[in-house]
Chain A
Amino acid sequence: DAKTTQPTSMDCAEGRAANLPCNHSTISGNEYVYWYRQIHSQGPQYIIHGLKNNETNEMASLIITEDRKSSTLILPHATLRDTAVYYCIVRVSQGGKLIFGQGTELSVKP
């Protein structure tokens, strides 16, 4: 599975959009980009995933560059409850393990 690089931490004002970047320059053609988050003292939670097209669901949007070497997770209106560690993971979709890096610690401030 390809390695990802994320900033260690980010701040965001409540109500504003939070844009979390991820670099995955060695991604292969059959690998998907997955995002999970972990709120303090809880298990990780799936957010969204994509292959090459931009994706949106009720939680977030995922923007993947055309060359697929990087992506951005967007939380359109961040709330205090979005404070968490966000993990960008690249893997083949069909089964198998998730390899978690250090993630980005997002702090949403009032």
Chain B
Amino acid sequence: DAGVIQSPRHEVTEMGQEVTLRCKPISGHNSLFWYRQTMMRGLELLIYFNNNVPIDDSGMPEDRFSAKMPNASFSTLKIQPSEPRDSAVYFCASGLAGGRPDTQYFGPGTRLTVL
């Protein structure tokens, strides 16, 4: 079992550039979550999908952030344009809604640095 796969693991970019983070959830899971973690704000949920449909995007900071899930095995989180305050570790998690237990499995994260 490969677990949740995220790429890249590290990303360094300059302010104003577009950044795309990628996630492959665990096969068979029907929920996918994007989180952001910083020292100041801790671990925050940005958006989550059920069956590829966005359910709650209230945590998305602003219009510069967008997330898509074109199919059950792939999701992207895009930041355009990026700003230094976007520097954080971004985690993707997947789960089986209604499963027993209804838990989330986290990927290793992408460490983003915006200069």
Contacts from A to B (Cβ < 8 Å): 34, 38, 41-46, 49, 87, 93-102
Taking a contact as CB atoms under 8 Å apart, the answer to whether B102 and A94 are in contact is: yes
- Looking at the assembled complex, report how far the CB atom of A94 sits from the nearest CB atom of chain B, in whole angstroms: 6
Taking a contact as CB atoms under 8 Å apart, the answer to whether A95 and B45 are in contact is: no
Taking a contact as CB atoms under 8 Å apart, the answer to whether A95 and B31 are in contact is: yes
Taking a contact as CB atoms under 8 Å apart, the answer to whether A45 and B106 are in contact is: yes
Taking a contact as CB atoms under 8 Å apart, the answer to whether B106 and A44 are in contact is: yes
Chain B, interface SS category? strand
B25, CB-defined interface residue at 8 Å? no
- Looking at the assembled complex, report how far the CB atom of A14 sits from the nearest CB atom of chain B, in whole angstroms: 26
Which listed residue, B4, B50, B91, B106, touches A95 by the CB 8 Å rule?
A: B50
Please name all residues of chain B whose beta carbon is closer than 8 Å to the beta carbon of A98 when the two chains form the complex.
Answer: 33, 45, 104
Please name all residues of chain B whose beta carbon is closer than 8 Å to the beta carbon of A102 when the two chains form the complex.
Answer: 42
Which listed residue, B98, B101, B105, B106, touches A49 by the CB 8 Å rule?
A: B101
Please name all residues of chain A whose beta carbon is closer than 8 Å to the beta carbon of B93 when the two chains form the complex.
Answer: 43-44
